[in-house]
Chains A and B, each alone.
Chain A
Amino acid sequence: MIPELGHFCLIIAFILTVIPIIGIFYRPFSVITRGSILGQAFFIHLGVLALIYAFVQDDFTVYYVSQHSNSALPIGYKIAALWGAHEGSVLLWVWILSCWALAISCQSKILPKIFLNRLLGVMSALQMGFLLFLLHLSNPFIRNWLPNIDGQDLNPLLQDIGLILHPPILYAGLIGFSVPFAFVMALLFNANTQKILFAWLKPYVCVAWCFLTLGIILGSWWAYYELGWGGWWFWDPVENASFMPWLTGTALLHTFGLVKKSKKYITWFICLSMATFLLSLLGAFLVRSGILSSVHAFAVSPERGQYMLVFLGITLSISLTWLIYRLPHFVTQKSSDKSLAWHSVLGLLLIQNSLFSVLCATVLIGTLFPIGYEIVTHQKISVGFPYFNQVFVPLSMPLFGLMGLLAIRLKKETPKTIAAIGITSILVGFWVCFIFPPIYPSWGSKIIVGLGVSISTWLLLTTLKILFSFNKRYLPMSIAHIGVGLCILGVTINTQYSIEKELKIKPGDSLVLAKNNIHFTELNFLEGPNYLTYEATFVVNNTIIKPEKRLFTAQFIPMTETAMDVTVWRDIYIALGEKLDADFWSARIQYKPFVRWIWAGGLLIALGGIMSFFLHRKGH
């Protein structure tokens, strides 16, 4: 009964989405726009609760629950299993979109009524598309008429704190960019835009961007300890799908400064907002269609892929047509006549924006190229890790240089100071790459270390100069930019100094890895709530860590549970491999210097965003 009620609630929500859409064109309907948004949110929440109820009650007559839960599953995972597979994650998507729409309609006092109704209308149109997708092609409430005694288990890879946190946070970010999208769509109706509108939008972009940043960091961290090979970024299509909106979103966040200064950048702002959300949609399509092979891809179904493609196509064509149709009204506005030098703050922001777009286009080309190539030549091709390292990384270097320059320009430093900081950072880079040669000390590797360390030093020094000016306005920006600096340092050193050993090892063995004493003491066979496990005990410099090899009994899936000895400077990362013979196991033991700095930097970036949000709110 409850699942049917949940299903029905979603249908009501779907019907309610029609009202705000009509309200855009037919004024009398717009009176109930906000009410309808409230209603949608209410019914979608009920639907989500109904599914959670089905999971908690182990209602295995519901097909989705029977496929992705199990009576032995801990309760936290049962709830998180809601978004553990395709259908539920579409529900999560719809749910978060309704939350964003609700947030808008509650925080809209300063918006003109007519603008708000258009904004909510566009949001509802998007919601309608997703609800249709949910109800038609990925309904989580469908019954299983031959009920199982017990459910198939949740995919063991997902039984982890990472699963509980990563999807909702990432989605909150991706879907959050529907707000600027709907905003610019509504903005295009009327060329006489007011600056107050942009001031209203900024916190939303800030929050969405923070969520996206956090989501990406969490995803990277989760992949690092859960997939068992110790990588934190692989330029996988799914990773790229979340990284592209992040790139344009970051550019968007920096455009507010431009828009505030001059109206002629509004067009650029509109394009960026549209691109960001469309890239989020493209990501959803790539992940759900199975068109690209990826470690993280969802269950594949051509119908769903087609729907997402059609939805993406319709959204793209409507928004582009609307943009092209209305753009002349914006361009004819008289632009300000101030001259613009490239090294002014505004000019640097503009260059930064363009570079971000180029970077995003690069990732887009790299991600979509195999698809296009296969269509044209019927041959498969791979574009991955080495390609992006060779193309994306050099292209991103000027950006980091500019970041430092921007920080300095804000304080109006003399060229002498700039040169001094520049030379210092290059010296630091050289010092590191020659005194501490990388693991495989080829020239390429040395140059990468030198460049990476120089750039992060440059960023840190220039940003610290801003930070020590103790100006509250620059605080969020300094924090975020310091985060970028630390992140670059972590990435450089981690990629060039990591040591990886795949060893044949038995209890009692010991080894020395990069001056760390590692001792394999014992191996035990244990039983967990829904798995059996071999638990190894390693002693790393007096710390005990226990990597495991688990066998999840519901579907007999083996899983590697890695273990790490963590310090600020390095991780010793141990993943148990296969049982080789009576005594020996294979184990992958890695020394990963500075790996925590990557995520620490990422967290600082997100923290900068959050601070900016609060400072902005206070400013109101």
Chain B
Amino acid sequence: MRLMRLILPTVIVVIFLGFIKQGLFLEKGYSVPLEMPQEVLGYSLSQALTKQQAVDYQLLIQQLRCVVCYNQNLSESQAPMAQDIKKMLLEKIASGTTKAEIIQLMIDRYGEFIVYNPPFRFGTALLWIGPLLLLGFTLFILQKQFHTDKRK
């Protein structure tokens, strides 16, 4: 019985690991595609950018809003305007502008509406701290609950 207890979880863990391994790539790292048509934006991310720049670019197009769509970010938008902005971002990133600078530039040009996570300042403090305050408050109440109950 005790052996069973050890074996069963081990088997489950191994199967689980196998699942993930099967689902991701079969070997370490990624094979660089040999033949790949040109990307629409005219760049191949892996060729034009360093790894860090590619990460930055991905984050940027995820957190910047498409100005002409209802509620989509640049990464999702197919609008011509979004394509233009993406192209501009790529060029900026490739020429060495940092992510923070680009975000500031976009905010200057389009207003804070353009970023999906508003920068932290006095006006948006409630947005960022509010949930944490709530959590603290709730934990305080809870702790009191457990406390008084113990005293009884």
Which residues does A use to contact B, with CB under 8 Å?
Answer: 227-229, 231, 234, 236-237, 293-295, 297, 337-342, 347, 350-351, 354-355, 357-358, 361-362, 365-366, 369, 373, 377, 379-387, 390-392, 395, 421, 424, 428, 431-432, 435-437, 439-442, 445, 453, 457, 460-461, 464-465, 468, 489, 493, 497, 500-506, 509-515, 560, 568-570, 577-578, 580, 586, 588, 593-594
Q: Which residue of A lies closest to B10 (CB)?
A: A424
Evaluate contact between A501 and B71: CB separation under 8 angstroms. Answer: no
Q: List 9 A-B contacts (CB under 8 A).
A: A229-B76, A295-B70, A354-B141, A385-B116, A424-B9, A435-B28, A505-B37, A509-B37, A568-B23
List, in ascending order, chain A residues with CB within 8 A of B51's CB. Answer: 440-441
Known: A294-B70, A361-B131, A385-B116. A569 touches B40 (CB 8 A): no
Known: A391-B131, A395-B135, A461-B12. A493 touches B20 (CB 8 A): yes
Known: A384-B117, A428-B17, A432-B20. A511 touches B130 (CB 8 A): no
Min CB gap A284→B, angstroms: 18
Task: Report the separation of the CA atoms of residues A390 and B120 in the bound assembly, to the nearest whole angstrom.
Answer: 13
Min CB gap A457→B, angstroms: 7
List, in ascending order, chain A residues with CB within 8 A of B23's CB. Answer: 493, 568-570, 593-594
Evaluate contact between A382 and B78: CB separation under 8 angstroms. Answer: no
Evaluate contact between B63 and A354: CB separation under 8 angstroms. Answer: no
Q: Which residue of A lies closest to B113 (CB)?
A: A380
Evaluate contact between A514 and B38: CB separation under 8 angstroms. Answer: no
B123 on interface, CB distance cutoff 8 Å: yes
Evaluate contact between B138 and A586: CB separation under 8 angstroms. Answer: no
Task: Report the separation of the CA atoms of residues A461 and B5 in the bound assembly, to the nearest whole angstrom.
Answer: 12
Evaluate contact between B25 and A515: CB separation under 8 angstroms. Answer: yes
Interface string of B113-150 (1 = CB under 8 A from A): 11111100001101110110011001101100110011
Task: Report the separation of the CA atoms of residues A347 and B124 in the bound assembly, to the nearest whole angstrom.
Answer: 34
Min CB gap A298→B, angstroms: 12
Known: A365-B126, A515-B31. A382 touches B131 (CB 8 A): no
Q: Which residue of B lies closest to A580 (CB)?
A: B40
List, in ascending order, chain B residues with CB within 8 A of A457's CB. Answer: 13, 16
Evaluate contact between B134 and A234: CB separation under 8 angstroms. Answer: no
Task: Report the separation of the CA atoms of residues A480 and B32 in the bound assembly, to the nearest whole angstrom.
Answer: 40
Evaluate contact between B39 and A501: CB separation under 8 angstroms. Answer: yes
List, in ascending order, chain B residues with CB within 8 A of A391's CB. Answer: 128, 131
Evaluate contact between B65 and A382: CB separation under 8 angstroms. Answer: yes
Evaluate contact between B35 and A511: CB separation under 8 angstroms. Answer: yes
Apart from A354-B139, A440-B51, A511-B33, list 15 A-B contacts with CB within 8 A: A294-B71, A339-B152, A341-B150, A354-B138, A358-B131, A379-B113, A380-B111, A380-B112, A382-B65, A386-B62, A392-B131, A440-B54, A461-B9, A502-B39, A511-B36
Q: Which of A234, A347, A461 contacts B71 (CB 8 A)?
A: A234
**Secondary structure dominating the interface of B:** helix
Evaluate contact between A382 and B127: CB separation under 8 angstroms. Answer: no
B100 on interface, CB distance cutoff 8 Å: no
Size bin of chain B's contact surface: 35 or more
Evaluate contact between B38 and A503: CB separation under 8 angstroms. Answer: yes
Q: Which of B55, B76, B118, B142 contacts A350 (CB 8 A)?
A: B142
List, in ascending order, chain A residues with CB within 8 A of B114's CB. Answer: 382
Task: Report the separation of the CA atoms of residues A445 and B36 in the bound assembly, to the nearest whole angstrom.
Answer: 26
Known: A437-B29, A594-B23. A387 touches B34 (CB 8 A): no
Evaluate contact between B131 and A383: CB separation under 8 angstroms. Answer: no
List, in ascending order, chain B residues with CB within 8 A of A383's CB. Answer: 116-118, 127
Task: Report the separation of the CA atoms of residues A294 and B113 in the bound assembly, to the nearest whole angstrom.
Answer: 14
List, in ascending order, chain B residues with CB within 8 A of A432's CB. Answer: 20, 24
Task: Report the separation of the CA atoms of residues A100 and B131 in the bound assembly, to the nearest whole angstrom.
Answer: 35
Task: Report the separation of the CA atoms of residues A435 and B65 in the bound assembly, to the nearest whole angstrom.
Answer: 34
Q: Which residue of A lies closest to B32 (CB)?
A: A512
Known: A357-B138, A593-B23. A390 touches B117 (CB 8 A): yes
Known: A340-B145, A340-B149, A493-B24. A384 touches B12 (CB 8 A): no
Evaluate contact between B146 and A342: CB separation under 8 angstroms. Answer: yes
Min CB gap B137→A, angstroms: 9
Min CB gap B22→A, angstroms: 6
Task: Report the separation of the CA atoms of residues A175 and B84 in the bound assembly, to the nearest whole angstrom.
Answer: 44
Evaluate contact between A513 and B76: CB separation under 8 angstroms. Answer: no
Task: Report the separation of the CA atoms of residues A535 and B38 in the bound assembly, to the nearest whole angstrom.
Answer: 21
Min CB gap B36→A, angstroms: 5
Known: A365-B131, A569-B22. A228 touches B142 (CB 8 A): no
Task: Report the separation of the CA atoms of residues A289 and B39 in the bound assembly, to the nearest whole angstrom.
Answer: 40
List, in ascending order, chain A residues with CB within 8 A of B13's CB. Answer: 424, 428, 457, 461
B1 on interface, CB distance cutoff 8 Å: no
Evaluate contact between A385 and B127: CB separation under 8 angstroms. Answer: no
Evaluate contact between B37 and A511: CB separation under 8 angstroms. Answer: yes
In this complex, the member of A227, A392, A440, A594 whose beta carbon has the largest number of chain B beta carbons within 10 angstroms is A440
Task: Report the separation of the CA atoms of residues A513 and B30 in the bound assembly, to the nearest whole angstrom.
Answer: 10
Task: Report the separation of the CA atoms of residues A340 and B142 in the bound assembly, to the nearest whole angstrom.
Answer: 11
List, in ascending order, chain A residues with CB within 8 A of B131's CB. Answer: 358, 361-362, 365, 391-392, 395
Evaluate contact between A440 and B55: CB separation under 8 angstroms. Answer: yes
